[in-house]
Chains A and B, each alone.
Chain A
Amino acid sequence: MKAYLRAMRWLFHIGRYMQLLSASFRRPEKGRVFRSLLIRELDAIGTQSIGIVALLSLFMGAVICLQTAHQIGGWIPVYTIGFTVRQTMILEFSPTLIPVILAGKVGSNIASQIGTMRVTEQIDALEIMGVNSAGYLILPKIIAGLCIVPFLVILSMVMGVGAGAWVGVATGVSSLADFEYGMQVDFHVFDVIYALTKTVAFGFILTSVSAYHGYYAAGGALEVGRSSTRAVVWSVVIIMVTNLILTQMLLN
């Protein structure tokens, strides 16, 4: 009985999520207003996340370089360091962990912003005016997520690999020539395409799932806080599951 109720609850949330997406993707009331909202969201999701993305990528690239140097222990070619840093950053760290980090930063922000609007009746005010509140509030965030998250991920790849090279040379574990050679060896453009494909999907998930939790918040400040937590947890879980599915699909 418990399993049945749980399954029904899941189905309820999936159905309501789909309904919200369908309402969000209706034609915006005013193109000019939509464009200004989109620019604001590109700034909130993208520009204001550059700092944290850069910082994490720099340190991750540097740490991966030092760890690889420690593991190869002198009997594996040194260029492996550059190869490993590149592969780790491009294949997994940047496309998966950066969206996870953004789910924490941007996702909680989206859920709490929309949740606060819900509990203070601002969403009701939009509806009564005749504004499609889902389209007005959620669509610009989803489009901004789809557009800007891949750029943040490319930035993360470049900064991570760059930091790896710099730390490798600075600490003497690799020469620049070895690192560069490792970066280029067995490189497939498909790896970048694969990574960016995943990123677009994760950008959609982190914005839409967070918006869903905020949009259906009910009650007061406590519930807005809970919806924000749920937004982060569910975004991360869905990103991880989707990562597994997409990896299997794209690499086969």
Chain B
Amino acid sequence: MIELHNISKSFGEHDVLKDIQASFERGKVNFVIGRSGSGKSVMTKCTVGLIEPDQGHVSYDGRNFTALSRRDRKEIRQEIGMLFQGSALFDSMTVQENVSFPLKMFSGMTDAEIDRRASECLERVELADAGSRFPAECSGGMQKRVGIARAIAMNPKYLFCDEPNSGLDPQTAIVIDQLIMEITREYNMTTVVISHDMNSVMEASDTIHFVHEGRILWRGDRGGLLAGGVPELEDFVFASELMRRIRKGGQV
């Protein structure tokens, strides 16, 4: 479980996060939703330690990550996998090398074992034949899948996905959503997905946190989301005609 305790963060005069309290459960796909600029990405960066919060702390299964030194954080960081919005694959490396990279740096495995594990991960995301390609030779959906393969290479306990479906067509987006759901169950990970794609939320979420102007304004699940009750959440969720029709239970 990942817990955020009273996290606040400001940039100059601008308070981006205000006293955030959240917990993300193990074995579940935990969605963080909200409008662009609501503070989702800063919250994620504070959670994984890319940005230091001004106040509060983050704990990973009871371990206070924020209080740890850089060296001690390394141990927890090796338990974290992350899928970035733009995939963030190393463009000078092949797909196989990208997936092997964390293993080479930290696993202590032999070259043969690393190759075998990387191939397993690529097979898991159905890219067994793409190992020799460079990221630039892969489609957006393939890059996301390589990102997932790299993220799970070290058998992580925690998986963060930042806008995993951005720039993908609806069918590929569903494939990525399903993959995230499946590997969350398989590895019994604590998965946190940052998204504003309502299709994804309806497809893959177990729990949902709604961030608005730097605060967690609502938490619940898919059923609660459609029930509404919080005006800001309703404005966000039912912004599209499609979602409004779903709510009315009418023909889409």
Does B82 lie within 8 Å of A33, measured CB to CB? Answer: no
* Residue of A121, A122, A125, A131 with most partner-chain B CB within 10 A: A125
Tell me the A residues contacting B by CB distance below 8 Å.
Answer: 29-30, 33, 116-117, 120-122, 124-125, 127-131
Q: Which residues of A contact B160 (CB under 8 A)?
A: 128
Does A125 lie within 8 Å of B84, measured CB to CB? Answer: yes
Q: Which residues of B contact A130 (CB under 8 A)?
A: 73-75, 77-78, 105-106
- Give the nearest-CB partner of B70 in chain A: A132
Question: Interface size (B, Cβ < 8 Å)?
Answer: 23
- Give the nearest-CB partner of B92 in chain A: A113
Q: Which residues of A contact B73 (CB under 8 A)?
A: 130
Does B77 lie within 8 Å of A129, measured CB to CB? Answer: yes
Does B105 lie within 8 Å of A29, measured CB to CB? Answer: yes
Whether A128 touches B82, Cβ cut-off 8 Å, given contacts A29-B106, A30-B105, A33-B104, is yes
Decide if B168 is an interface residue (CB 8 Å cutoff): no
Does B88 lie within 8 Å of A122, measured CB to CB? Answer: yes
Extra 14 A-B pairs, beta carbons < 8 Å, given A129-B78, A129-B105: A120-B86, A121-B84, A121-B88, A122-B90, A122-B91, A124-B50, A124-B84, A125-B82, A127-B49, A128-B50, A128-B82, A128-B160, A130-B78, A130-B105
Q: Which residues of B contact A131 (CB under 8 A)?
A: 105
Main secondary structure of the interface of B (DSSP, over half): mixed
Does B88 lie within 8 Å of A120, measured CB to CB? Answer: yes
Does A127 lie within 8 Å of B50, measured CB to CB? Answer: yes
Q: Which residues of B contact A128 (CB under 8 A)?
A: 48-50, 77, 80, 82, 160
User: What are 16 contact pairs spanning A and B, CB under 8 A?
Assistant: A29-B106, A33-B104, A117-B90, A120-B88, A121-B85, A122-B88, A124-B88, A125-B90, A127-B49, A127-B77, A128-B48, A128-B80, A128-B160, A129-B105, A130-B74, A131-B105
B107 CB to nearest A CB, Å: 10
Does A121 lie within 8 Å of B77, measured CB to CB? Answer: no
- Give the nearest-CB partner of A130 in chain B: B77
Q: Which residues of A contact B86 (CB under 8 A)?
A: 120-121
Measured between alpha carbons, how far is A124 from B82 in the docked complex, in Å? 10
Q: Which residues of A contact B104 (CB under 8 A)?
A: 30, 33
Measured between alpha carbons, how far is A129 from B86 in the docked complex, in Å? 17
Q: Which residues of B contact A33 (CB under 8 A)?
A: 104-105
B62-76 Cβ-contact flags toward A at 8 Å (1 or 0) = 000000000001110
- Give the nearest-CB partner of B78 in chain A: A130
Q: Which of B85-128 contact A (CB under 8 A)?
A: 85-86, 88-91, 101-102, 104-106
Measured between alpha carbons, how far is A25 from B74 in the docked complex, in Å? 17
* Residue of B75, B85, B102 with most partner-chain A CB within 10 A: B102
Does A129 lie within 8 Å of B102, measured CB to CB? Answer: yes
4 A-B pairs closest in CB distance: A130-B77, A121-B88, A125-B88, A130-B74
A40 CB to nearest B CB, Å: 9
Q: Which residues of A contact B85 (CB under 8 A)?
A: 121
Measured between alpha carbons, how far is A121 from B87 in the docked complex, in Å? 8
Measured between alpha carbons, how far is A29 from B103 in the docked complex, in Å? 12
Measured between alpha carbons, how far is A131 from B90 in the docked complex, in Å? 14
* Residue of A33, A117, A128 with most partner-chain B CB within 10 A: A128
Measured between alpha carbons, how far is A117 from B89 in the docked complex, in Å? 9
B58 CB to nearest A CB, Å: 13
Q: Which residues of A contact B74 (CB under 8 A)?
A: 130
- Give the nearest-CB partner of A123 in chain B: B88
Measured between alpha carbons, how far is A127 from B88 in the docked complex, in Å? 12
A214 CB to nearest B CB, Å: 14
A104 CB to nearest B CB, Å: 22
Measured between alpha carbons, how far is A29 from B104 in the docked complex, in Å? 10
Measured between alpha carbons, how far is A121 from B90 in the docked complex, in Å? 10
Q: Which residues of A contact B50 (CB under 8 A)?
A: 124, 127-128
Measured between alpha carbons, how far is A125 from B146 in the docked complex, in Å? 13
Q: Which residues of B contact A127 (CB under 8 A)?
A: 49-50, 77
Q: Which residues of B contact A30 (CB under 8 A)?
A: 104-105
A228 CB to nearest B CB, Å: 17
B176 CB to nearest A CB, Å: 17
Q: Which residues of B contact A122 (CB under 8 A)?
A: 88-91
Measured between alpha carbons, how far is A106 from B49 in the docked complex, in Å? 32
Q: Which of B145-168 contact A (CB under 8 A)?
A: 160
Q: Which residues of A contact B91 (CB under 8 A)?
A: 116, 120, 122
Measured between alpha carbons, how far is A124 from B83 in the docked complex, in Å? 11
- Give the nearest-CB partner of A125 in chain B: B88
- Give the nearest-CB partner of A129 in chain B: B102
Q: Which residues of A contact B90 (CB under 8 A)?
A: 117, 122, 125
Measured between alpha carbons, how far is A33 from B78 in the docked complex, in Å? 17
Measured between alpha carbons, how far is A127 from B105 in the docked complex, in Å? 12
